[in-house]
Chains A and B, each alone.
Chain A
Amino acid sequence: GDSVTQTEGPVTVSESESLIINCTYSATSIAYPNLFWYVRYPGEGLQLLLKVITAGQKGSSRGFEATYNKETTSFHLQKASVQESDSAVYYCALGGPNAYKVIFGKGTHLHVLP
Chain B
Amino acid sequence: DPKIIQKPKYLVAVTGSEKILICEQYLGHNAMYWYRQSAKKPLEFMFSYSYQKLMDNQTASSRFQPQSSKKNHLDLQITALKPDDSATYFCASSQEFERLFFGHGTKLSVL
Among the 9-residue stretches A16-24, A77-85, A94-102, the one with 4 or more Cβ atoms under 8 Å from chain B is A94-102
Q: Is the CB of B97 within 8 A of A95?
A: yes
Q: Is the CB of A45 within 8 A of B104?
A: yes
B89 within 8 A of A: no
Number of A interface residues, CB 8 Å? 22
Number of B interface residues, CB 8 Å? 24
Q: List A residues 78-114 near B (Cβ within 8 Å).
A: 91, 95-107
Known: A100-B50, A102-B45, A107-B43. A48 touches B97 (CB 8 A): no
CA distance A49 to B97 in the complex (A): 17
Q: How far in angstroms is the closest Cβ of chain A from B56?
A: 4
Q: Is the CB of B50 within 8 A of A48?
A: no
Closest residue of A by beta carbon distance from B97:
A100
Q: Is the CB of A104 within 8 A of B42?
A: yes
CA distance A61 to B31 in the complex (A): 25
Q: How far in angstroms is the closest Cβ of chain B from A32?
A: 12
Q: Is the CB of A48 within 8 A of B100?
A: yes
CA distance A36 to B44 in the complex (A): 16
Residues in A whose Cβ lies below 8 Å from that of B90: 46
A12 within 8 A of B: no
B103 within 8 A of A: yes
Known: A45-B104, A46-B90, A46-B102. A107 touches B97 (CB 8 A): no
Q: A101-B58, A101-B97 are in contact. List 4 more A-B contacts (CB 8 A).
A: A45-B102, A45-B104, A95-B97, A97-B96
